[in-house]
């Protein structure tokens, strides 16, 4: 019996011409760093002529810029599939793999480029750097015999002396006070540095505190009490100070929840995290912090925090931060009515609050499952679920949100994790709210920042938006250049 083969419809000369025009328009948007419009026009080019590898590779690069690493990987793979000799496709795929922390896969693509272009110095450099990372990871695994060994146990505060010339804030009897916090913030505004002894003490104390916390923290809010939820800060210390200027310093009568991604990208991440940890120690029952996807070793190595800590302090402190982050709570429930997590919901419909409470969080985020999804997932406008644009977690629709809320008797969810032009977005018929608190993200996005205030009596979200404020001339990701050079 004969079988029919499905042939692709012929692409007209007009379509080819129009596709090239769309690509040119997309390139112009890309140059202006308007990556969303660039993606739209590359998509139009692909719709008119889906057989051109460069369209996919270019859109892959734009997706990388918007942190849609899953889409970037898919497009790069498609460009290679269309043209197995298209070197830039392999570059883009390697960059996508790097972004997802898949260094071995990235190395294979860089290796291919060096073989077909043996005289390409840039390819050799990227292959060499990526190879170093792969070997370093393998070496660390090989020597990690004692999994129970804690960096915290190796730190001797008594051996650290306070030099006479140190003029910064000092802990009082080893404790954080309000005056210490005020002095610390002033020190940081002037680009000063907290003494390493006090920095280590804060980290050791905060680790002990978080170890006693539950994975899902319940937060009661009185009827007439105000509560503030902030989204991603991403190392933008001066914008963090602006939030406190507008909304008041944290206190027992002005509680806050910071919903993950305190660090990375912005080059004042050390200042942000010690400020937040300091307030957590000062007001443990009125200041809360959720883990984000950037509170992880791979993200910190890629996007700057690891390099910043090593530059301002030590490699040992960078490792201690990883230990501390492993103990951060994954979610908070406000008045038993609103669930707050960094990323979003799940690939299963039967996840309960009790299951979240039982998650073993003291580890690096896994590639799948509820812990991963709490940190990485994103909402989508259409019903159902889809593979994540980031390559990790999932995308979930309005029906998924409603099913989860009904099952767990909740009003709505608050999450962060995504840049929004107005600093926030209300989606899924008001049941899924995104808040993002880093304005003009990476000094390029032009977005506003926002925070949410609500009262216990009605739990209705009120939004405050704001523009970015000036900061010293240190560019975002200044400490991540050695790794990010592999993604250009």
Q: What angle do CA 266, 268, 272 make, to 5 degrees?
A: 105
Mind listing the pLDDT tens digit for each residue in 432-453?
999 999 999 999 889 999 999 9
pLDDT of residue 142: 77
The first and second tokens of residue 409, run together, are 């008797």
Q: Is residue 345 within 8 Å of residue 396, measured between CB atoms?
A: yes
Question: Which run of H or E residues covers position 252?
Answer: none
Residue 146 has pLDDT above 80, yes or no: no
CATH of domain 13-143: 1.25.40.10
Q: Is residue 308 within 8 Å of residue 479, measured between CB atoms?
A: yes
**Residue-wise over 186-218: b if at least 16 C-beta within 10 A, else e?**
ebbeeeeebbbbbbbbbbbbbbeebeeeebbbe
Residue 466 has pLDDT above 80, yes or no: yes
Q: Is 294 one of the catalytic residues? A: yes
Q: Is residue 417 within 8 Å of residue 434, measured between CB atoms?
A: yes
pLDDT of residue 1: 45
Count Cα atoms within 13 angstroms, Cβ side, for 171.
18
Mean predicted confidence (pLDDT) in 179-188: 98
Phi, psi of 117 (to 5 degrees): -130, 70
Phi, psi of 385 (to 5 degrees): -130, 160
Mean predicted confidence (pLDDT) in 125-145: 81
Residues 14, 12: Cα–Cα separation, whole Å: 5
pLDDT of residue 139: 82
Q: 154-487 sits in which CATH class? A: alpha beta
Q: Is residue 312 within 8 Å of residue 193, measured between CB atoms?
A: yes
Mind listing the pLDDT tens digit for each residue in 379-436?
999 999 999 999 999 999 999 999 999 999 999 999 999 999 999 999 999 999 999 9
Residue 143 has pLDDT above 80, yes or no: no
Max CA separation in the chain (angstroms): 92
pLDDT category at 144 given cuts 50, 70, 90 is low
Q: Give me the sign of the Cα torsion angle 200, 201, 206, 211.
A: positive
Q: Is residue 253 within 8 Å of residue 287, measured between CB atoms?
A: no
Mind listing the pLDDT tens digit for each residue in 295-346?
999 899 889 999 999 999 999 999 999 999 999 999 999 999 999 999 999 9
pLDDT category at 486 given cuts 50, 70, 90 is low
Residue 75 has pLDDT above 80, yes or no: yes
**Position of tokens 């007209």?**
12
Residues 201, 207: Cα–Cα separation, whole Å: 10
- Choose among 66, 65, 67, 88: nearest CA to 76: 88
Mind listing the pLDDT tens digit for each residue in 207-261?
999 999 999 999 999 999 999 999 999 999 999 999 999 999 999 999 999 999 9
Of the candidates 294, 332, 342, 471, the residue annotated as catalytic is 294
Mind listing the pLDDT tens digit for each residue in 252-298?
999 999 999 999 999 999 999 999 999 999 999 999 999 999 999 98
Residue 98 has pLDDT above 90, yes or no: no
Q: Locate the domains of the chain by residue range.
A: 13-143, 154-487
Residues 344, 60: Cα–Cα separation, whole Å: 24
Mean predicted confidence (pLDDT) in 60-69: 92
Taking only Cα atoms into account, the Rg of the chain, rounded to an integer number of angstroms, comes to 24
**Position of tokens 């070496």?**
139
**Residue-wise over 408-419: b if at least 16 C-beta within 10 A, else e?**
bebbbbbbbbbb
The pTM for the full model equals: 0.91
Residue 67's SS3 state is coil
């Amino acid at each position: 019996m004969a079988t029919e083969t499905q042939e692709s419809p012929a692409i007209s000369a007009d379509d080819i011409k129009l596709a090239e025009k769309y690509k040119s328009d997309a390139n112009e948007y890309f140059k202006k760093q308007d990556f969303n419009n660039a993606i739209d026009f590359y998509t139009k080019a692909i719709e008119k002529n889906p057989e051109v590898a460069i369209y996919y590779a270019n859109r892959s690069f734009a997706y990388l810029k918007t942190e849609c690493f899953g889409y970037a990987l898919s497009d790069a793979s498609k460009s290679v599939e269309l043209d197995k000799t298209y070197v830039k496709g392999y570059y883009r795929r390697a960059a996508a793999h790097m972004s997802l922390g898949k260094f071995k896969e990235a190395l294979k693509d860089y290796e291919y480029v060096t073989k077909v272009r043996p005289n390409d110095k840039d390819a050799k450099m990227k292959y060499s750097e990526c190879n170093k990372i792969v070997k370093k990871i393998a070496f660390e695994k090989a020597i990690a015999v004692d999994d129970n060994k804690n960096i915290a146990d190796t730190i001797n505060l008594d051996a650290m002396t306070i030099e006479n010339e140190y003029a910064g804030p000092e802990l009082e009897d080893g404790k954080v006070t309000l005056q210490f916090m005020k002095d610390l913030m002033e020190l940081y505004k002037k680009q000063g540095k907290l003494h390493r002894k006090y920095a280590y003490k804060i980290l050791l104390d905060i680790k002990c505190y978080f170890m006693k916390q539950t994975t899902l923290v319940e937060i009661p809010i009185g009827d007439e009490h105000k509560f503030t939820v902030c989204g991603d800060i991403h190392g933008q210390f001066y914008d963090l100070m602006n939030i406190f200027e507008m909304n008041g310093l944290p206190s027992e009568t002005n509680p806050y929840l910071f919903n993950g991604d305190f660090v990375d990208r912005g080059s004042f991440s050390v200042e942000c995290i010690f400020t937040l940890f300091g307030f957590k120690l000062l007001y443990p029952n009125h200041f809360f912090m959720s883990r984000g996807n950037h509170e992880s070793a791979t993200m910190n190595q890629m996007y700057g925090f690891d390099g910043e800590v090593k530059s301002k302090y030590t490699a040992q402190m960078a490792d201690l931060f990883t230990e501390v982050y492993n103990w951060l709570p994954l979610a908070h429930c406000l008045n038993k009515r609103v669930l707050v997590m960094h990323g979003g919901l799940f690939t299963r419909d039967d996840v309960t609050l009790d299951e979240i409470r039982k998650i073993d969080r003291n580890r690096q985020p896994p590639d799948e499952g509820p812990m991963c999804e709490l940190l990485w997932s994103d909402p989508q406008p259409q019903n159902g679920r889809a593979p994540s644009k980031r390559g990790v977690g999932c995308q979930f629709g309005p029906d998924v949100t409603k099913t989860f809320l009904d099952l767990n008797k909740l009003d709505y969810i608050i999450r962060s994790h995504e840049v929004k032009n107005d600093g926030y977005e209300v989606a899924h018929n008001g049941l899924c709210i995104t808040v993002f608190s880093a304005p003009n993200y990476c000094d390029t996005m032009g977005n506003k920042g926002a925070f949410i205030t609500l009262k216990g009596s009605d739990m209705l979200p009120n939004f405050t938006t704001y523009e970015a404020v000036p900061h010293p001339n240190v560019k975002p990701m200044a400490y991540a250049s050695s790794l990010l050079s592999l993604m250009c």
